[in-house]
Amino acid sequence: MNNQRSFFFNVDWFTVALYLTLCIIGWFNIHSAIFDETHPSIVDLSTNYGKQFIYIISALVLATVILLMESRFFSALAPAVYGIVVLLLVLVLVIGRNVGGNQAWISLGGGFRLQPSEFAKFATCLLLARYLSGTNIRVTDPKSFFVAAAIIVFPMVLIILQPDAGSTLVFCSLIFVLYREGVSPLFLITAAVVIALFILTLLVSPTYLIGVLVIIAAFLIYFFKRNQTMIITVAVGFVLSVVLIFSVNFLYHKVLKQHQTVRIDEWLGITTDLRGIGYNVNQSKIAIGSGKLWGKGYLKGTQTKFSFVPEQSTDFIFCTVGEEWGFAGTLTVLLIYLTLLFRIIFIAERQRSNFSRIYGYGVASIIFFHVFINVGMTIGLVPVIGIPLPLISYGGSSLWSFTILIFILLKLDANRMGII
């Protein structure tokens, strides 16, 4: 067959280049973030930047292995992979190591450890793609919709038990996949409205909020006065909104944990505690803001060097980019991500098989969500949710997980002319 001529025949090199660029940016910034004068070499294995080098090399090996595999395996093996990951997620609750309050890690020995929730991302994408690409499956059908939703929600439930709220929320991003496949835009709108109402209820008194909602509802009903369906929709929406507003208080204080609510309070400015809860974000903003246009230069960030920002090689790695490379650096990184996202969508849309396209959208959604939440958190735009910046943050599991996500897509794409 054609694609046997070379392992890398038809591989989308543009995406690979973006991937490698981000990996290298990450590696250098990790070096800077935890630079240790006694171990200055960037490949010194006793340091985390040395380890990251190993992770990148192994990720490239992993990518090669994926490209060598038969592309039809991915669809075929999707249920099995999903099953294994679910098993690991259960296992981690039993034998996992507790790091920073989350029982998310399975120790592999030698200082290395595995985070199953990272692998749940591509497993879920694969199974979702496999299910939705099945014959006679229409996501607009309630039954299919619920199955698809169940595929997404099941790992979320297991992960929230760890409890790793950040990783759990990542799966919500798959709503974009469902939307692309035909789910009513109401879902997106509803999701947006729910989030907006939730935030507004915390900031504004419910009386005012309901007053405003009444006005909006009245206006919409007048606007749709010939369309009975819409009137009903608006009415139901209004009632649900009111119910939501009154349940926010309960949700906020009974369902969310205290360490989550204080973060949200801090983010919304309800409380200000720059020495406690708000310390990270404040220092992170100082780091990024002090970078100005061109940054302070590689290894010269004072916030970075003198460890003012905790978690700076993992969740807050974007601070290092902002401080040492300035707005030029942050803009570049975000544009690379945007290019990568568009390229993935472009790749997804050129697939002949539904499986590949759906999977592609899954990859894009997950990367998008990570970037948005992670960067947004470092500049105070979203509350602190501990998820890594794709391919840049320190950590093997995360890097491998994104490598697998992307390279499965590239393999599927390389083989798009073939039959699955």
Sign of CA dihedral 341, 344, 348, 349: positive
The answer to whether 235 and 302 have CB atoms below 8 angstroms apart is no
The answer to whether 296 and 29 have CB atoms below 8 angstroms apart is no
Taking the C-alpha atoms of residue 248 and residue 270, their distance in angstroms, rounded to an integer, is 16
CB of 105: closest distance to other proteins in angstroms? 26
CB of 11: closest distance to other proteins in angstroms? 23
CB of 271: closest distance to other proteins in angstroms? 20
In 3-state terms the chain splits into helix, strand, coil percentages (rounded to 5) of: 70, 5, 30
| Choice between 213 and 375, CB closer to other proteins | 375
DSSP collapsed to 3 states, 206-266: HHHHHHHHHHHHHHHHHHCCCCHHHHHHHHHHHHHHHHHHHHHHHHHHHHCCHHHHHHHHH
Binding residues vs other proteins (CB under 8 A): 176, 179-182, 185, 283, 285-293, 302-303, 305-308, 322-323, 326-327, 330-331, 334, 337-338, 341-342, 345, 349, 354, 361, 364, 368, 372, 375-376, 379, 381
CB of 33: closest distance to other proteins in angstroms? 13
CB of 381: closest distance to other proteins in angstroms? 5
CB of 181: closest distance to other proteins in angstroms? 7
Token pair 């099953």 is found at 83
| Choice between 156 and 373, CB closer to other proteins | 373
**Is residue 198 classed exposed, middle or buried when 0-12, 13-18 and 19+ CB atoms within 10 A define those classes?**
middle
| Choice between 121 and 285, CB closer to other proteins | 285
| Choice between 34 and 81, CB closer to other proteins | 34
| Choice between 70 and 141, CB closer to other proteins | 141
| Choice between 351 and 398, CB closer to other proteins | 351
